[in-house]
Amino acid sequence: MPPVPPMRGRVLIVAGSDSGGGAGIQADIKAVTALAGFAMTAVTALTAQDTLGVHAVHPVPPAFLRLQMECVLADLGADAIKTGMLGDAATVELVASVLAEHARGIPVVVDPVMVAKGGASLLSADAVAHVKRVLLPLAALLTPNLPEAEILAGMAIPDEAAMHHAAEALLTLGVPAVLLKGGHLPGEEVVDLLATTEGTLAFRAPRIASRHTHGTGCTLASAAAAGLAQGMGLRDAVARARAYVRAAIAAAPGYGAGHGPLNHAVTVDPARLAALLG
CA distance 182 to 49: 25
181 labelled catalytic: yes
Distance of CA 37 to the CA centre of its chain: 15
Q: Which of 218, 219, 227, 260 is catalytic?
A: 218
Backbone angles phi, psi at 215, to 5 degrees: 90, 10
217 labelled catalytic: yes
Q: Which of 44, 47, 83, 213 is catalytic?
A: 213
Burial label for 48, CB within 10 Å (0-12, 13-18, 19+), is middle
Q: Which of 9, 87, 217, 260 is catalytic?
A: 217
71 labelled catalytic: no
CA distance 242 to 211: 18
CA distance 267 to 42: 25
Per the CB < 8 A criterion, the answer to whether 16 and 59 are in contact is no
216 labelled catalytic: yes
Per the CB < 8 A criterion, the answer to whether 258 and 212 are in contact is no
CA distance 74 to 72: 6
53 labelled catalytic: no
CA distance 61 to 4: 39
Cross-strand pairs, 13: 41, 82
Q: Which of 215, 219, 227, 260 is catalytic?
A: 215
Picking from 85, 141, 109, the residue whose alpha carbon sits closest to that of residue 32 is: 109
258 labelled catalytic: no
Q: Which of 51, 87, 181, 219 is catalytic?
A: 181
Per the CB < 8 A criterion, the answer to whether 25 and 16 are in contact is yes
Q: Indicate the DSSP class of residue 185.
A: S
Q: Which of 132, 216, 219, 260 is catalytic?
A: 216
Picking from 267, 275, 195, the residue whose alpha carbon sits closest to that of residue 37 is: 267
Residues marked as catalytic: 181, 213, 215-218
